[in-house]
A and B are shown apart, each in its own frame.
Chain A
């Protein structure tokens, strides 16, 4: 796991209120139970603060699983 990925998972574990180990690698928005629309919004807020970025509307709807979240963050940082 790279640094960015583990950072994302740690934030997710706090937002979803589950242990880091309980988040499956393929966790998906709307499928993994704690990742509902409210928590998606909270996740967006936490990621924006953490990386000092602002997601576009598209970014928000694109970030449907962990690797997509990672992609979108990388894109916004660069």
Chain B
């Protein structure tokens, strides 16, 4: 898309969007103003009302203080412009001068990243001097400086700071297409319009992740998608997926990539028009198959519409359709799914099979998440347990009798630092059972704990079938320091444990503790998002009084004296102190 069309459409979008603004600050020591419209347009067209503000030219350290309350900070810190004309000047400096420059630079990096520690997401470009140095046999002083800067970045890296490797963008576009030095001397502009378009595309998954929009599950067809051949026609022995044939090798590699995705916490599912017995036999008996039936959190092998099957998977696993990626070799199936479920990302197996592995690999960007917790690695197991649980539930008449048969237990854990990574991840990923949808980074939560302004409790749960891990969170703060009036800043629960009344058990225990601790009154809010309708009346159900209501927000209070503890005794609870 041309820059001018981006500007035109961006102005249109500005008028049509009304959601809360996503405030992006770009702090820089060069001119990058053209990124504004491209980044805004890209995010706005996906429903995020982004607004880009620039810091002052070459004022990175001060700007890192000024923008410490932004939603996202992007840093364009150009080594060649640390001092005006440094790209030549560096050859005239002696080693002492270079050392001084380098230590000042390292100090500044340290300061800037520290100043930005409460920003949910900071995107900083790794330092490079490729724009001015293409000599391969030795490094210019600026490359040495870049390397030192990058070491510093690595040292300071944390969950909210992402370092972007610009070299990969240069490789993709070529350096000549990325850099445009015509305006460097006069305006300190360095990058081409194509660079900015590619850059925005490249950082987009990080923004999606912090906004809770990462994809979570990969749904795969079987014939000519996982293996070469059609099981119903070619039979078990006719299917190719070994390194021994060129076609088979493609599919063996694709299977490896898919297994790798699963190991990094992405769920897999099968959706295939076949006889179930035939396909399961392939997983069970084919000598070359790498994937097994247990790698899939859901399996739908039948003759129904694929869109219907995908909806069922979404329902079974409690995952929103917008978290789905679907891969199939048939144009017909892909476009049918795309039409009926536009929120699902669809990939057709490329005509040119040698492109297949690469296109599956590229899906990784869509699944990108900023935080990785131990639970990701065993996620498929958790969903498989869920499957057994659901089969178990069929045997019971009432929900209560089912729930009590599960032998549920929850463990409430107060202000535990080691739960912070998972707690931050829950704020970022949970959409449905999320009362205020406030997202936090690990650093922000640590900050809250350190300053004692906040308290938080997580709970983990287990039942007859296994552990669910840490699946819920409440964040509380006193209305003012030392006050006995408290506010529920957020309350959320992973959809994994929905439908078991665990939320009621948890809130009852928390409220009871607050009452015991002498809290007089508790305030709470429900803030509407696109996805949290199911909890619109949650606070009413747990004895809160509605005091104020408008379209997007409901405010509540609970006078603790009036709170009556309800012991749901079919769920056991213990507190970890």
- Say yes or no: is B531 at the interface (Cβ < 8 Å to chain A): no
Given contacts A14-B7, A14-B8, contact A49 B193 (CB under 8 A): yes
Q: Are B2 and A38 in contact (CB under 8 A)?
A: no
Q: Give residues 31-70 of A contacting B (CB, 8 Å).
A: 37-38, 41-42, 44-46, 49-50, 55, 57, 60
Q: Are A41 and B2 in contact (CB under 8 A)?
A: no
CB contacts (< 8 Å) of B125 on chain A: these are none
Q: Are B182 and A42 in contact (CB under 8 A)?
A: no
CB contacts (< 8 Å) of A27 on chain B: these are none
Q: How many residues of A contact B (CB 8 A)?
A: 16
- Say yes or no: is B34 at the interface (Cβ < 8 Å to chain A): yes
Q: Contact mask B1-14 → A, CB, 8 Å, 1/0?
A: 01110011001000
**Complex Cα gap A14–B2 (Å):** 13
Which of A14, A38, A46, A50 contacts B187, CB < 8 Å? Answer: A38
- Say yes or no: is A11 at the interface (Cβ < 8 Å to chain B): yes
**Complex Cα gap A43–B33 (Å):** 12
Q: Contact mask B175-213 → A, CB, 8 Å, 1/0?
A: 000000011001101000100000000000000000000
Q: Are A57 and B7 in contact (CB under 8 A)?
A: no
Q: Are A37 and B182 in contact (CB under 8 A)?
A: no
Q: Which residues of B contact A (CB under 8 A)?
A: 2-4, 7-8, 11, 31, 33-34, 182-183, 186-187, 189, 193
Residue of A nearest to B180 (CB): A45
Q: Contact mask A1-28 → B, CB, 8 Å, 1/0?
A: 0000000000100110100000000000
Residue of B nearest to A59 (CB): B182
CB contacts (< 8 Å) of B193 on chain A: these are 45, 49
CB contacts (< 8 Å) of B3 on chain A: these are 42, 45-46, 49
In the assembled complex, the CB of A15 is this many whole angstroms from the nearest CB of chain B, namely 7
Residue of B nearest to A11 (CB): B4
Which of A15, A38, A57 contacts B31, CB < 8 Å? Answer: A38
Q: Are A15 and B189 in contact (CB under 8 A)?
A: no
Which of B11, B182, B187 contacts A57, CB < 8 Å? Answer: B182
Which of B11, B33, B182 contacts A38, CB < 8 Å? Answer: B33
Q: Are B8 and A41 in contact (CB under 8 A)?
A: no
Q: Kindly list the 6 A-B residue pairs having the minimum CB-CB distance in the complex, ordered from nearest.
A: A46-B4, A49-B2, A45-B193, A14-B7, A46-B3, A45-B3
**Complex Cα gap A37–B185 (Å):** 13
CB contacts (< 8 Å) of B2 on chain A: these are 46, 49-50
Given contacts A38-B31, A41-B189, A42-B33, contact A60 B4 (CB under 8 A): no
> Known contacts A38-B187, A42-B3; can you find 17 more A-B pairs with CB under 8 A?
A14-B7, A14-B11, A15-B4, A17-B11, A37-B186, A37-B187, A41-B183, A41-B187, A45-B3, A45-B34, A45-B193, A46-B2, A49-B2, A49-B193, A50-B2, A55-B182, A57-B182
CB contacts (< 8 Å) of B186 on chain A: these are 37
Instruction: State the main secondary structure of chain A at its contact with B.
Output: helix
Q: List 8 A-B contacts (CB under 8 A).
A: A14-B8, A38-B31, A38-B187, A41-B187, A44-B183, A45-B34, A46-B2, A60-B182
**Complex Cα gap A17–B37 (Å):** 12
CB contacts (< 8 Å) of A17 on chain B: these are 11
In the assembled complex, the CB of B33 is this many whole angstroms from the nearest CB of chain A, namely 6
Q: Are B4 and A14 in contact (CB under 8 A)?
A: yes
**Complex Cα gap A46–B8 (Å):** 12
CB contacts (< 8 Å) of A14 on chain B: these are 4, 7-8, 11
CB contacts (< 8 Å) of B31 on chain A: these are 38, 41
Residue of B nearest to A48 (CB): B193
In the assembled complex, the CB of A63 is this many whole angstroms from the nearest CB of chain B, namely 13
In the assembled complex, the CB of B228 is this many whole angstroms from the nearest CB of chain A, namely 42
CB contacts (< 8 Å) of B182 on chain A: these are 55, 57, 60
In the assembled complex, the CB of A32 is this many whole angstroms from the nearest CB of chain B, namely 18
Residue of B nearest to A10 (CB): B4
Residue of A nearest to B4 (CB): A46
**Complex Cα gap A57–B186 (Å):** 11
**Complex Cα gap A55–B182 (Å):** 9
**Complex Cα gap A38–B36 (Å):** 13
CB contacts (< 8 Å) of B183 on chain A: these are 41, 44, 60
CB contacts (< 8 Å) of A50 on chain B: these are 2, 4
CB contacts (< 8 Å) of B33 on chain A: these are 38, 41-42
**Complex Cα gap A55–B183 (Å):** 12
In the assembled complex, the CB of B104 is this many whole angstroms from the nearest CB of chain A, namely 29
**Complex Cα gap A44–B3 (Å):** 11
In the assembled complex, the CB of A61 is this many whole angstroms from the nearest CB of chain B, namely 9
CB contacts (< 8 Å) of A57 on chain B: these are 182
**Complex Cα gap A38–B189 (Å):** 10
CB contacts (< 8 Å) of B187 on chain A: these are 37-38, 41
**Complex Cα gap A50–B3 (Å):** 9
**Complex Cα gap A28–B2 (Å):** 25
In the assembled complex, the CB of B9 is this many whole angstroms from the nearest CB of chain A, namely 10
CB contacts (< 8 Å) of B8 on chain A: these are 14
Q: Are B34 and A15 in contact (CB under 8 A)?
A: no
Most chain A C-beta atoms within 10 Å of own C-beta, residue among B3, B189, B193: B3
Residue of A nearest to B182 (CB): A57
CB contacts (< 8 Å) of A15 on chain B: these are 4, 7
CB contacts (< 8 Å) of A11 on chain B: these are 4
**Complex Cα gap A67–B199 (Å):** 35
**Complex Cα gap A49–B187 (Å):** 20
CB contacts (< 8 Å) of A55 on chain B: these are 182
In the assembled complex, the CB of B34 is this many whole angstroms from the nearest CB of chain A, namely 6
In the assembled complex, the CB of B14 is this many whole angstroms from the nearest CB of chain A, namely 11
